[in-house]
Structure 1
Amino acid sequence: MAMKRIWISILLTALLLILQTFPSAAQQRSWRPTVMSMRGMVASGHPLASEAGLRILKEGGNAIDAAIAAWLVQGQVEPGMTGLGADMYILIYLAKTKEVKFINGSGPAPMAATLDFYKSKGGMPLEGALSVEVPGAVDGALLALKRYGSKSLAQVMAPAIEIAEQGFPVSDTLAGELRSDREKLGKFPSTTKIWFRNGEPLKAGDVVVNRDLARTLRTIITGGSDAFYRGSIAKTTIDYLKSNGGIHTASDWANFRAHEDEPIAINYKGIDVYECPPNSQGHVMLQALNILEGFNLREMGHNSAPYLHVITEALKLSFADRNAYNGDPKFVPPIPMKELLSKKYAAARRALINPDRAIEGEPPPGDPRRMTSLNKQTYSAPQSAPVVVNAWDESRELGLTTYLAVVDKDRNMVSITSSILSVFGSGMVVDGAGYFLNNRMAYFSLDPKDPNVVAPGKRTRQTINPALAVKDGKPYIVFGTPGADTQPQTQLQFFLNVVEFRMGVQQALEVPAVISNSFRGSYYPQRVIGRLITPAMLPKDVQEGLAARGHKLDVRNSRGVGSVKAIMIHPLTNVLMGGVSPTGDSYVMGW
């Protein structure tokens, strides 16, 4: 009898765990299936990148090897988002030691990038040589492989070199991006040489061969980071920048090193959620989770007006703190990160959320050292819900970066966000080297009081912030997204869809999500737009409920939760479950 009671208890516990983790039968089925596998999984922004990572896993590589292989392919098939000229943040969960590691592969401004210089130019440019910072991704990727990979650099780079030499077909998504950025790209002959044909941007189905990039990759295999930052590739790049009016010098590149740092984390209802420390905005999502932990979100109901209201307000309060305190830690006063992520401070910020009124514009920042909020905010008057639905351009709003997630057979997890910032970055392909350069300088401020004001050798505040979570001491979920200031917003809503509303991974990525811009944005000149981007597919009564609370709605024909990709690990069976938002060329593969 006692044994029977034990077995009943075990079965009930297992059933409860399943119900807490997965959607009920009554929930709507997702458009795409949740991909499930046992041995390994890759979720990325393009099928060929996911296939490259999967190939490395099948050849015996670990998650770190596969992630870097996938990223190297992303730089070709998603050239508007990432590549050798990008920045990169990497979060790694090591299954053997149960440690989380963080690698910062973000580069600095050149030493000639003074405040007075850019003021004399009329601001921070969005394209061209003066928009380029030293790219940090290559050294970040090589550091990750050196410390945590298992394959040789030649093995990891093989899929990317194969694609560069043999070619790949332009997708509909990439063709649309090339067409939209025709004017910017057309200014640089080294760019049109690869990405135009007969004076026109490449079209869907055209094949791209990039032998210059293949040679660059082979040079990195033999020369490592030194070749890229201190050798022939650096010389080629710096000469190209100078010939186009740039201010980079050999020492700007030679002095750069990616580095490992401590990740930041909070515990949300028993789940340890990890993010990237400054100069990343990773704390924004964590602060918002702390604030929201004090509300009964399930009782409000998923995507109800009260729910979306508190989501939006928590994020606005967190972004206000980002703008007040976050910058390159080497240049700004000590950032009170411990205090910003404390539950006590979250309670002080939570107290400013009026359930019936939205805070007008960007809220004042709090004082985390004193655990207080400045009660100087104003609240919006009720608004009318708009009847016009505006167009939604995924590349403009959510492109701007790319993301990938990998989990291997040992359940190591890797989360990588990398970016050349705007679509196609500076617009410049390095002549003879074959890769796009970023326009990351466009994130700097020219306000001397701003912690993110431009300075020689300073790293700009980054919006890229890959995430992962651990539950009950086990790897739980790895997730992230492109999208500049939208990243912590859509990552947050995806996470809550899974944790609070028990959705399966793919369904959690397909439901609507809201995006606020009621805070100073990251792009120069850091304007406050003051709108809430609201999917037209949200019920009319929800839109009206948000407007009645004072939110100024910008209704768009958007779909899904940003461009989030995610892999979740079943807590009972250890099965991998992956999904991607229905955007661009995003794809997940497992084996």
Structure 2
Amino acid sequence: MKRTSSLLMTTLFGLLTTGTPMLSSAQRTQKPPLHGKHWMAITGKPLAATAGAQLFQQGGNAVDAACAMLAATCTMWDVLSWGGEMQALIYHPKLKKVIAINALGVAPSGATVDFFRSKGYEFPPEYGPLAAVTPGTPGGLCYMLAHYGTKSLAEVLAPALEMAAGYPIDAQTATSIERGKERIKEWPYSKKVFLVHEGKSWEAPEAGEVFVQQDLHKTLSKLIEAEKKALAAGKDRKAAIMAAYDRFYTGDIADEFVRGSKEQGGLITKADLANWKPIEEEPLHVNYKGVDVYKLQEWTQGPAMLQSLQMLKNFDLKAMGYNSASYIHTLYQVMNLAFADRDFYYGDPYGKPKTPIQGLLNESYAKTRAATIDLKQNNPNVLPGDPYPYEGKQNPYLSLLEQRKKEFTPHTELKNDFVPKHDARSSSSVKDLSAAALMASLSVDSAYMDRLLRGTTSVEAADEEGWVVSITPSGGWLPACIAGNTGVGMSQRLQSFVLDSLINPFNVVEPGKRPRVTLTPSMALKNGKSYLSFAVQGGDTQDQNQLQFFLNMVEFGMTPQQASEAANINSNQLWLSLGGTKTDDRKPRSGSLLLDKNTAPAIIEQLKSMGYSIQLGERTSGPINAIYFDQQHHTLWGGSSNNGEDYGIGW
């Protein structure tokens, strides 16, 4: 963050009681706020935002635009590919309700605890064919477009198809390919696609070079061809789109995907692809000060934000002041309680055992949990609570919780060198800090931070008819293992399972089961109407940053752009969901707290006295992408973070 904390503080406290952002300070940000009357398209890449704008200009709705942005970002590879997973929240203006789409893949045949333990793993692997769940993005996109869009698949895929034929690659993606080239060389189909200058000192494409993906172009063309044939045969629009879906999951694309996966040691079978289906489901929600906040079910970490909001009702955050020591401490403790519950109780709601989600979201349970917080000192060993009595049930895992308490002690000593390697936009070293800040900073090891912040992207779209879409897609990120000649990178999401029920009995790997993921878009309604749509990249930090973005607007009256740029805090006192095949890699870092590097020294000292290990950085706010619905003026406000390539277009 390049703004000083004092500048931001001056913009926070002239708040309007109506909840409308302050117009007088709307421009006091690094990036200008977006304004639109008809539509808004925001995502993690400028070219992908342009794809969304194209669909809007062609008369499409927000679902059409969101699908075009999703397809484009998958084609650009930076933080996801076509073999990854997606999930969405959609506001349906005619039904006046929020709909959830679950397009997360499942563990393939053979993905068992015994299989991975026989290979010496304590968690499933991070990379390669054994890290893959079944691809969900193609199916989720087709389902969402068929049921809620207006355009054909050919129209929605047109920008991505043109990009697959060749687009000028950005420096960030090119650098990611070069950085991961040794692993990419392990997989023949990945090497063929990515290392276009093999044998030279720089083997990846160069920034600005036209990057061609012939195999992916053929795969996308096959999807469009299937739709075209179905339409020629008299099928309606929806059936024609689903004909393309069938070709991917049961046809010749599936054949090549499975062949290529198995050749490289993968487990996915043709039956695994054919049996997988996206699920339309009811989202979860809580009300916070008159705002209904919606998240996906507990197969994501999304309910952790809802649990946090339930607990925060018991504190006067506005009186504490934005990012005061007491505010930071309260947020940290509340998030730790929510994540302790996430780490033990969240999992696939369609599997067994059944998660106690209603108890976890119960307001009385939240009040009980909040009452355990020491307002003067960090609790270095926060434990999961017992939500079962709040569902009128007895907890079947009390003995497991006792055993867990004895066997797992969190990390209290931190290693040096914080340089997150997964993403150039997040590379912020303590070397960049002033001498005083450096002395105040206790660094954490780079491998851990790489896992904590591992990226994805977000897709936000809204239109004047009232359709709203929020997506946090991911999977198949660089370095990616491509499945045969499909041009499709396989997911790495299997790593979010556990092999030990002592860590989480609800999230133990087994074939056909979904892992509990970090992916977590958000949506909020006020007075029964759209109020906010927002999402963020960043692994386990996603709901931490989204919670603070929401509070920045609701409690402190920031505009969406101010809230997306505002300095956040991040807790590392949680079990990592990504990376590391050993238990020790993923344990919580007790008291580890990331602060903005411009945090006042007095606040840093106060927090250190409360038991925190302080680490300072520039990348503390996301990056958040958001759309705010101005109910007074019937216009759209866009917010897009200032610390990445995130980009929005409005009209």
What's the TM-score once normalised by structure 1's chain length?
0.91
Root-mean-square deviation over aligned CA pairs: 2.6
What's the secondary structure of 1:367's corresponding residue? Answer: coil
Match of 1:5 in 2: none
Match of 1:152 in 2: 152
User: Equivalents in 2 of 1:268, 1:52: separation in Å?
Assistant: 35
User: Equivalents in 2 of 1:334, 1:110: separation in Å?
Assistant: 21
Match of 2:478 in 1: 424
Quote the offset at 1:389 in angstroms.
6.8
Structure-to-structure mapping, 1:244-259, within 5 angstroms: 244-259=264-279
Structure 2 unaligned segments of length 5 or more: list them. Answer: 1-13, 227-242, 415-436
Pick which of 430-439 and 475-484 moved more. Answer: 430-439
Match of 1:367 in 2: 386
Match of 2:42 in 1: 43
User: Equivalents in 1 of 2:554, 2:577: separation in Å?
Assistant: 29
Residues 65 and 156 of structure 2 are in contact (CA less than 8 Å); yes or no, is this contact kept in structure 1? yes
Question: What one-letter code is carried by the residue in structure 2 that aligns with 1:92?
Answer: I
- Aligned: 1:548 with 2:609: yes
Match of 2:101 in 1: 103
Match of 2:522 in 1: 467
Quote the offset at 1:396 in angstroms.
6.3
In 2 relative to 1, CA 205–399 (structure 1 residues): closer, same or farther, beyond 3 Å?
Answer: farther
Match of 1:9 in 2: none
User: Equivalents in 2 of 1:185, 1:545: separation in Å?
Assistant: 46
- Aligned: 1:583 with 2:643: yes
- Aligned: 1:217 with 2:220: yes
Match of 2:626 in 1: 566
In 2 relative to 1, CA 457–588 (structure 1 residues): closer, same or farther, beyond 3 Å?
Answer: same
Residues 535 and 558 of structure 1 are in contact (CA less than 8 Å); yes or no, is this contact kept in structure 2? yes
User: Equivalents in 1 of 2:373, 2:319: separation in Å?
Assistant: 17
Residues 559 and 582 of structure 1 are in contact (CA less than 8 Å); yes or no, is this contact kept in structure 2? no
In 2 relative to 1, CA 380–456 (structure 1 residues): closer, same or farther, beyond 3 Å?
Answer: closer
Quote the offset at 1:379 in angstroms.
13
**CA offsets 1:292-333 (integer angstroms, 9 cap, x no match):** 121111111101111011111111101111122111123232
What's the secondary structure of 2:460's corresponding residue? Answer: strand
Quote the offset at 1:554 in angstroms.
2.5
Structure-to-structure mapping, 1:158-169, within 5 angstroms: 158-165=158-165, 167-169=166-168
- Aligned: 1:196 with 2:191: no
Residues 348 and 371 of structure 1 are in contact (CA less than 8 Å); yes or no, is this contact kept in structure 2? no
Quote the offset at 1:397 in angstroms.
5.1
Match of 2:63 in 1: 64
Match of 2:569 in 1: 514
Quote the offset at 1:584 in angstroms.
2.6
Residues 563 and 581 of structure 1 are in contact (CA less than 8 Å); yes or no, is this contact kept in structure 2? yes
Match of 2:420 in 1: none
Percent identity of paired positions between Structure 1 and Structure 2: 37
Residues 457 and 474 of structure 2 are in contact (CA less than 8 Å); yes or no, is this contact kept in structure 1? yes
Residues 497 and 503 of structure 1 are in contact (CA less than 8 Å); yes or no, is this contact kept in structure 2? yes
What's the secondary structure of 1:70's corresponding residue? Answer: helix
Structure-to-structure mapping, 1:238-277, within 5 angstroms: 238-277=258-297
User: Equivalents in 2 of 1:395, 1:121: separation in Å?
Assistant: 24
User: Equivalents in 1 of 2:344, 2:450: separation in Å?
Assistant: 29
User: Equivalents in 1 of 2:105, 2:25: separation in Å?
Assistant: 48
In 2 relative to 1, CA 330–347 (structure 1 residues): closer, same or farther, beyond 3 Å?
Answer: same
What's the TM-score once normalised by structure 2's chain length?
0.83
User: Equivalents in 1 of 2:371, 2:27: separation in Å?
Assistant: 35
User: Equivalents in 2 of 1:483, 1:134: separation in Å?
Assistant: 22
User: Equivalents in 2 of 1:286, 1:152: separation in Å?
Assistant: 36
Quote the offset at 1:27 in angstroms.
8.7
Match of 1:175 in 2: 174
Match of 1:437 in 2: 490
Quote the offset at 1:500 in angstroms.
0.6
What's the secondary structure of 1:100's corresponding residue? Answer: strand
User: Equivalents in 1 of 2:411, 2:146: separation in Å?
Assistant: 52
Match of 1:205 in 2: 208
Quote the offset at 1:203 in angstroms.
2.3
What's the secondary structure of 2:178's corresponding residue? Answer: helix
Structure-to-structure mapping, 1:285-300, within 5 angstroms: 285-300=305-320
Residues 16 and 22 of structure 2 are in contact (CA less than 8 Å); yes or no, is this contact kept in structure 1? no
Residues 358 and 380 of structure 1 are in contact (CA less than 8 Å); yes or no, is this contact kept in structure 2? no
What's the secondary structure of 2:69's corresponding residue? Answer: helix
- Aligned: 1:226 with 2:286: no
Structure 1 unaligned segments of length 5 or more: list them. Answer: 1-14
What's the secondary structure of 1:503's corresponding residue? Answer: coil
**CA offsets 1:75-134 (integer angstroms, 9 cap, x no match):** 122x13222201111100012221110010001111211111100111121111111111
Aligned residues: 570
Quote the offset at 1:281 in angstroms.
1.3
Structure-to-structure mapping, 1:82-121, within 5 angstroms: 82-121=80-119
